[in-house]
Chain A
């Protein structure tokens, strides 16, 4: 079938139904735009189907086992038997399906037209969507949002074979815990998979290219996750060549970063360009008057919550509101051992940009809740703009860090100072107290740790 010049009008066309695209679609529809959403895979994108959601499912599943083990000294009997991975997979699929259905229902209720197919530009205001093998549809859009996301990058030395050597997403779908597993990479994805499978009983090696795990996090967090991974049973091999190690592993997972999905879009046809393979957008997420980009195709951290916030902002702009993406704080959560989370600047970044900072560091060993949970290895490290100044960074290691970081993101957005944090009552006994305590440390008047000698 040749569709020729037959085309449909699309007031607002969104390419990609991942966390960026579907949120943008819902917001734009909420504000009265007529939205067409094109998705070549599943609604919810990588995040919902094969990234954030299932990977956290696996991480928490594995952590349940180690939580019991932490209480072994308090009398909890040791785990016997192997986790039933087939049952886990059914549960994972069910959770994903519930969430995908939820998003689909929302889109339907909002009157968003969902088109299943692969889009490419064929003109400044026209997109061709290939639907299956035979059929194509053309859409003439007024505004377009490119939210096509990213995929796993390939490491030349260890290309994916789909079976033994796989990208991280595939490692979430195994029906059996491999007897031996090599994880290649130093990012949070590699780390989470290594720790989860080590906890589930696999002999896991983690091969990192450099001398640090999470090289773009605060150094103290890098050290914490290194120690934690080793404690969880991961053999961590820093500055190592993964190729010879890979030969002896039953399974190999390679996490070499994310690549934006822009190749097939034929951007040139729309007069658009992505210098260095990523879009530079302004605060309105604009590429030009009628084209926008959000999420992993834009310059910045490839994180679902960043895409979602951008999706809301671009939805506002499309709806004629004074929308903008100007978040000051972009939290990051890593479900490794221990859980870690970070937001804002690191101590090193602050120093590099010449900002005088004061650090407040509180060890969990001094926290009641951490002691009873036998989780005293962590800490809260807060970065303040000068003594008594606003909090500009938080680096947390320990249980619930991924939740606590939300308080710090809010603190940064609100311009909260060390006093604000120190004078806010935090429920006792919780891990959140570590934040209040760290603020007190920065002010030189800690209660629950000894005062450091002034130097």
Chain B
């Protein structure tokens, strides 16, 4: 049995570090080659790192939530397999594996006897020499051995159907993550959406005033600040919206902190930077926090912690003249609120038709744990705060 130190490979474009999102196996577990061992999260994607060989996990050198530098040891695998550098490139690990000491004495690898030209052929054909049975004396591996292994090896899954014509763009990075999260959401969560039209006259004035104040002080006051504040207040009052479902344990987890994710469109796709403890900040402080995380997200400079720990998501489509629409909840969260553009609409007040600024709002919640009444009740709280914005503070 040899100890193989699995080092964090470069899992994104030259990223220097990644966070341990989740250990998928425990110490003492047996793993097969290519079995996912750990889920790593970077600011761009979450990646499962498969085991490079058959063995037993004997050490984990980082805990969930730890940030690990590329190249440092993540875990130790006790293995009989000779872990080789592959070339097939189907996972990040294979293209960027454990650096080997190429000057290691030959005896260290006396188990694989293959001349240089055969090793080159193996690289070209993506054959792992450790799995080739050598037909020569003492198990020496010939070019023929490698070729027959390559042709006899199971084809790498069924050949994909011939591609239909058209420009093809590989799903990856943020976009791939979005695809996975949204599909999971739609597949697993029974969504219910309520639509609301809020009288936003006072709110808009309040926001303009705060913005003007900020500008006179040379600071910024992002519009989303007030929405975040309003939602944070409602979450404090309706804690079931600030929860998540632990399906494995069959439990609802009520979160202590109110961490509001702000859905942000970027060139690469949807990113949701999080304002932590949104209800615990003064308005000025909140404005700075909202400005910082959304700007960083748009610039592609979000830190890993900026993208983590969200307990509820807010989406504001106003800047794109968005109206009413539904949203998908980001699992494991249980609700999401979306606001549209404030526009003048005909509103009936005291029997008269008035033109009033109206802000559309849709509240989508997970009907597994939130019922219609709770949903309306939450919406009513948000409505109350927005229609009487003095409550939001100045």
User: What is the 8 Å Cβ interface bit string for chain B, positions 85-128, against chain A (1 contact, 0 not)?
Assistant: 10100000000111111110111111001111001100110000
Contact check, A289 vs B10: say whether CB atoms are below 8 A apart. Answer: yes
B142 to chain A, nearest CB (A): 10
Number of A-B contacts (CB under 8 A): 102
A67 at the interface (CB under 8 A from B): no
B: number of interface residues (CB 8 Å): 35
Q: Which one of B10, B102, B115 contacts A300 once the chains associate, using CB atoms below 8 Å?
A: B102
B360 to chain A, nearest CB (A): 43
Q: Which residue of B lies closest to A343 (CB)?
A: B106
A283 to chain B, nearest CB (A): 4
Given the known A-B contacts A289-B13, A324-B119, A415-B138, are A349 and B107 also in contact in the complex, defined by CB atoms under 8 Å?
Answer: yes
Q: Which residue of A lies closest to B87 (CB)?
A: A322
A350→B109 CA distance, assembly (Å): 12
Contact check, B97 vs A282: say whether CB atoms are below 8 A apart. Answer: yes
B14 at the interface (CB under 8 A from A): yes
A304→B123 CA distance, assembly (Å): 25
A330→B119 CA distance, assembly (Å): 16
A330 to chain B, nearest CB (A): 5
Q: Which one of B10, B103, B116 contacts A301 once the chains associate, using CB atoms below 8 Å?
A: B103
- Chain A residues whose C-beta falls within 8 Å of the C-beta of B105 in the assembled complex: 344-345, 349-350, 353, 392-393
User: What is the 8 Å Cβ interface bit string for chain B, positions 337-357, against chain A (1 contact, 0 not)?
Assistant: 000000000000000000000
A281→B10 CA distance, assembly (Å): 12
A393→B110 CA distance, assembly (Å): 11
Contact check, B109 vs A328: say whether CB atoms are below 8 A apart. Answer: yes
A94 to chain B, nearest CB (A): 34
- Chain A residues whose C-beta falls within 8 Å of the C-beta of B138 in the assembled complex: 389-390, 415, 417
B175 at the interface (CB under 8 A from A): no
Contact check, B106 vs A290: say whether CB atoms are below 8 A apart. Answer: no
Contact check, A283 vs B85: say whether CB atoms are below 8 A apart. Answer: yes
B145 to chain A, nearest CB (A): 12
B137 at the interface (CB under 8 A from A): yes
**Interface-centre pick from A290, A355, A390 (highest chain B CB count, 10 A):** A390
A271→B136 CA distance, assembly (Å): 46
Contact check, A280 vs B107: say whether CB atoms are below 8 A apart. Answer: no
Contact check, A353 vs B99: say whether CB atoms are below 8 A apart. Answer: no
B376 at the interface (CB under 8 A from A): no
Interface residues of A in 261-316 (CB under 8 A from B): 271, 273, 275, 280-284, 286, 288-291, 299-301, 306
A11 at the interface (CB under 8 A from B): no
Instruction: A288-B96, A353-B107 given; name 11 further pairs at CB < 8 Å.
Output: A273-B16, A275-B71, A280-B99, A282-B85, A288-B14, A289-B10, A300-B101, A327-B103, A345-B106, A345-B107, A390-B113
**Which are the 5 A-B pairs with shortest beta-carbon distances?**
A415-B113, A345-B105, A322-B123, A280-B99, A322-B124
